[in-house]
Amino acid sequence: MRASEPAGLLADFEAGRIDPASFPHRDHVRVSYELLERHSFPEALLHLARGLRQLAAKAGRPEAYHETITAAFLAVIGERRLGDHYADWQDFAARNPDLLRKRLLEEFYEPAALQSPVARGTFILPRRSGKQFS
C-alpha cells in the first residue's frame, strides 16, 4: 500500500511502509523530488539511501541497492529542480520525461562502470566525456 499524496508517499517511504513490488521507478523519482523540496542535497541523499536500502532489504535483496545510481539520479533531479521553476511534482515530471526512464544514466556512464561492484558500493563519477547532466 502506498499513499498517493506526496507527503503520504514520502512518509510511507521513510517509515518503511512501501511494498517493494509496488514502488516503480516513477515513485523513486517522485520521492527524490519531494526529499529535495524538504532537504538540502546531502540530507536528501541520506534519507533516500536509507529508504532504498530498507526497501531492498525488505524485498530480500539488500545487494540491489546501488550507491551510484541513487546519488547520480538525485543529482540530476536536484539540478533540474533548481534550473527552472516548477509548480509541483506533476509539472516537473511532465517537463522532464527523460528522468522517468530507468536507464537514463547510461547516457552518462559506461554500462560496465555502472555494473561494477565499485559503483554499487560507492558513488563514482561519470566516465563519458563531453556529457553533462542538464
* Full pLDDT tens readout for the chain, 134 residues: 344 566 799 999 999 999 999 999 999 999 999 999 999 999 999 999 999 999 999 999 999 999 999 999 999 999 999 999 999 999 999 999 999 999 999 999 999 999 999 999 999 999 765 454 44
Nearest to 42 by CA among 12, 71, 8: 71
Spatial distance between the Cα atoms of 69 and 62, rounded to a whole number of angstroms: 15
Q: Is the dihedral of CA 66, 67, 73, 74 positive or negative?
A: positive
CA atoms within 13 A on the CB side of 114: 18
pLDDT of residue 4: 52
**pLDDT value for 127:** 73
Residue of 46, 59, 68, 69 whose CA lies nearest to 18: 59
Q: What angle do CA 64, 99, 73 make, to 5 degrees?
A: 45
| Predicted local confidence at residue 2, as pLDDT | 40
> Which amino acid is present at 46?
L
* End-to-end CA, the chain: 34
Length of the chain: 134
Q: With 0-12 CB in 10 A as exposed, 13-18 as middle and 19+ as buried, what is 122?
A: exposed
Q: What is the pLDDT of residue 1?
A: 33
